[in-house]
Amino acid sequence: MDIVVRPKILVVGAGFAGVGCVRRLERKLGSDEADLALVTPFSYQLYLPLLPQVASGVLTPQSIAVSLRRSRKYRTRIIPGGAIGVDLKAKVCVVRKITGEIVNERYDHIVLAPGSVTRTFDIPGLTDHARGMKTLAEAAYLRDHVISQLDLADASQDEAERAARLQFVVVGGGYAGTETAACLRRLTQNAVKRYPRLDPKLIKWHLIDIAPKLMPELGDKLGQSAQEILRKRGIDISLGVSIAKAGPDEVTFTDGRVVPTHTLIWTAGVAASPLMATLGAETVKGRLAVSSEMSLPGHPGVFALGDAAAVPDEAKDTEGAICPPTAQHAMRQGKHVADNVIASLRGQPMTPYVHKDLGLVVDLGGLDAVSKPLGVELRGLPAQVVARGYHWSALRTNVAKVRVATNWALNAVAGHDFVGTGLLSRSSAKLRDFEHTNAYLTPEQIRERTENG
Ligand SMILES: Cc1cc2nc3c(=O)[nH]c(=O)nc-3n(C[C@H](O)[C@H](O)[C@H](O)COP(=O)(O)OP(=O)(O)OC[C@H]3O[C@@H](n4cnc5c(N)ncnc54)[C@H](O)[C@@H]3O)c2cc1C
């Protein structure tokens, strides 16, 4: 009896790019054409742009964790774990399962979409004292932490401690930092009404960025509008400023100011997943250098995309331009790379990825937003309708759409709730606790494993 061996396609990462790719492969590829496997530490796709709303309690965590197992049509084998190295020569991906067991996954085609990690710098105390905003757990911990600061300030008899507990610092004026500061400031503004012993004037939010502008991609006028909304809400914005050092109860800015605080939120950019460095191939600022077909030159069957890859931006005239790390690109690249994987399986020509940016939406909470769909500048309610409409329609399943819409409606009617879930009682939940950047193998360790296994 002949045993038919089907080619194996291994996708790494279940984010916008990875899930976009897997779903298209499942739809377009016959089950007898290839076996599909997906390496992911979680069985959900996280809708990251709505993470600040989880941190502020507007949305529940499960509303933006879109299940990978909702439909019986899905036939991909999900491997629960993280890829820790890839041997391009042996065509093996080394995976650490969630149990800690390390296994070798062989592939014929591999699609690398592990996204990015929070970019940190060599700033004293940063990874020990700052909190990130990149995972569902970080958002949930952050919400608990902020509420607990109000509780602790309320209970304290010490003026200095009260003041420190009620100051919050967000570093990073991109959409992640700006939305986080805006949404959490709204939470504390509303919550403080339930703490009659606390003076609302003591609550201070700082948003700082080393760049001269917040979200430069918004353009001057819209960027200015966003700043005005934030300033009106009482957020102190400092541009051209970063952090010189961070401690458990104070942060020193590069302009010399020392801010007593127990809350430092770090959203100052992202860096490609450290997995890309294990390939020993060319990178551009850490992102794997791929062709506009998203394939790795010299290695047929190897593809990379999303935040982890430097995909040439063919829609721009500028030489050497690469696609920015956005959900908008990752989602579309996911579908496109699936078409190219199928083309390469069937011996057909692959096509380059070309997508012209559709604009940006920034939800500042409540009725405040700024949006720039197709270059049209919107503010206030129209901008918010576009922002929420865009995110809502981009959610992958109907159940996620219903959860998010219901949460928004509930928040509009009943307001914020201020109950902490007790996540903080034992864990520190700082940057170093979530970014497992030391989990990856060196090229030598990978070779050792693939040669012996
Ligand atoms: C707070 C926040 C707000 C944002 N807002 C916007 C916005 O409004 N608009 C916009 O366009 N973009 C926004 N972005 C950026 C956008 O979310 C990213 O560009 C997008 O998620 C990139 O998609 P991706 O598939 O490459 O990576 P991700 O979506 O990050 O997915 C990567 C996946 O790979 C998994 N993974 C990581 N390492 C491994 C490994 N070693 N092995 C296996 N799996 C692994 C991760 O768990 C994750 O599931 C925001 C980002 C953040 C953090």
Amino acid 123: pLDDT: 96
Answer yes or no: is 249 within a domain. Answer: yes
Answer yes or no: is 430 within a domain. Answer: no
- Model pTM score: 0.94
- Are 216 and 315 within one domain? no
- Measure 239 CA to ligand 1 centroid, in angstroms: 26
- Measure 15 CA to ligand 1 centroid, in angstroms: 6
- Are 131 and 158 within one domain? yes
- Are 277 and 385 within one domain? no
Answer yes or no: is 143 within a domain. Answer: yes
Please give the tally of structural domains in the chain: 2
Amino acid 430: pLDDT: 81
- Measure 388 CA to ligand 1 centroid, in angstroms: 19
- Are 287 and 409 within one domain? no
Taking phi over 0 as left and psi of -120 to 50 as alpha, with beta for the rest, 280 belongs to left
Q: Which atom of ligand 1 is nearest to the CA of 50?
A: 3
- Are 262 and 279 within one domain? no
Amino acid 432: pLDDT: 74
CATH number, domain containing residue 145: 3.50.50.100
- Measure 151 CA to ligand 1 centroid, in angstroms: 32
* 380-394 and 398-414 helices, crossing angle to 10°: 150
Answer yes or no: is 375 within a domain. Answer: yes
Q: Which candidate, 369, 387, 367, 357, places its Cα nearest to that of 217?
A: 357
Give the residue whose CA is nearest to atom 8 of ligand 1.
Answer: 49
The range of the structural domain enclosing residue 73 comes to 8-118+271-357+437-452
- Measure 411 CA to ligand 1 centroid, in angstroms: 26
Answer yes or no: is 29 within a domain. Answer: yes
For residue 148, give the amino acid letter: S
- Are 220 and 186 within one domain? yes
Give the residue whose CA is nearest to atom 20 of ligand 1.
Answer: 327
Answer yes or no: is 34 within a domain. Answer: yes
- Are 172 and 50 within one domain? no
Tokens of 358: 């559709």
Question: What residues are in contact with ligand 1 under a 6 Å CB criterion?
Answer: 12-18, 39-42, 46, 48-49, 51-52, 82-83, 113-115, 133-134, 175-176, 273, 275, 306-308, 325-328, 330
- Are 251 and 228 within one domain? yes
Residue in 94, 138, 311, 326 to alter for ligand 1 test, most ligand atoms within 8 A of Cβ: 326
Answer yes or no: is 27 within a domain. Answer: yes
Report d(CA 61, CA 47) in Å as an integer. 10
- Are 316 and 447 within one domain? yes
- Are 98 and 143 within one domain? no
Answer yes or no: is 149 within a domain. Answer: yes
Residue in 38, 48, 54 to alter for ligand 1 test, most ligand atoms within 8 A of Cβ: 48
- Are 257 and 327 within one domain? no
List per-residue pLDDT tens for the chain, 453 residues long: 566 789 999 999 999 999 999 999 999 999 899 999 999 999 999 999 999 999 999 999 999 999 999 877 889 999 999 999 999 999 999 999 999 999 999 999 999 999 999 998 999 999 999 999 999 999 999 999 999 999 999 999 999 999 999 999 999 999 899 999 999 999 999 999 999 999 999 999 999 999 999 988 888 899 999 999 999 999 999 999 999 999 999 999 999 999 999 999 999 989 999 999 999 999 999 999 999 999 999 999 999 999 999 999 999 988 899 999 999 999 999 999 999 999 999 999 999 999 998 888 999 988 899 999 988 999 999 999 999 999 999 999 999 999 999 999 999 999 888 888 877 666 677 887 777 778 899 988 998 888 876
- Measure 272 CA to ligand 1 centroid, in angstroms: 10
- Are 171 and 263 within one domain? yes
Give the residue whose CA is nearest to atom 37 of ligand 1.
Answer: 114
